[in-house]
Amino acid sequence: MRLAERINAETSSFHSEADEDTIRLLGAITADDYRRYLMHTYGFVAPVERAIVQVPSAERYVDLRRFNKQELIRRDLRALHVAEIVIARLPQCEVPPLANAEAVLGWAYVLERGTLGYSNLFRHLASVLPGEAAFASSYLKCYFGAVGEAWRSFLQALDVAGDHDEQHARDVIGAATTAFRTYRAWCNAAAHTIS
């Protein structure tokens, strides 16, 4: 079985919970709801991306430039009139240093999988909050028009890593499991600290 299929199957118990924030926004939302969503998302994405780009060996599998979405979130928050000093002080998730490319791929799986619902969320946002969609949706449009292509290229990177040996595959899956657990803990903590 390909690593892309294995990681999906072996982390499936985390998927519905990881998708809750995005799904929640597909209902009736306000600009404040969307602002809180971006703040909460930034608190996870920013430290994970910083950890990812610190591992140069990851470039064997993925283009590290794709892990700069935190800047898109910052742009969107500024468009929603959140001051830079407030953004700089937002609580952030504690992410352990990533030891190798396999750890990067596992943590990146959580980030990249999350982008799959952003096109639907952007369309919904455009219908209920057109001003915010026009000026504060850079993050949701990070792969706009190419979500499937971006996802497939990431899955190919997973499969290349999994082709090395079973230990590489287990390391990637273990890292993804840790990332999902960390995200769950972050969601619980952020619900009480971001308003």
Write out pLDDT tens, residues 156-181: 988 887 666 788 889 999 999 999 99
The answer to whether the pTM exceeds 0.75 is: yes
Q: How far apart, in Å, are the Cα atoms of 54 and each of 19, 26, 43, 89, 102?
A: 27, 34, 18, 22, 13
Question: pLDDT tens digits, residue range 70-85?
Answer: 999 999 999 999 999 9
d(C-alpha 189, C-alpha 195), whole Å: 12
Go through the domains of the chain in sequence order and give each one's CATH number. Answer: 3-193 (1.20.910.10)
Residue for token pair 């959580």: 110
Of the candidates 141, 134, 139, the residue with the CA atom closest to the CA atom of residue 44: 139
What does the alpha-carbon distance between residue 170 and residue 178 come to, in Å, rounded to a whole number? 12
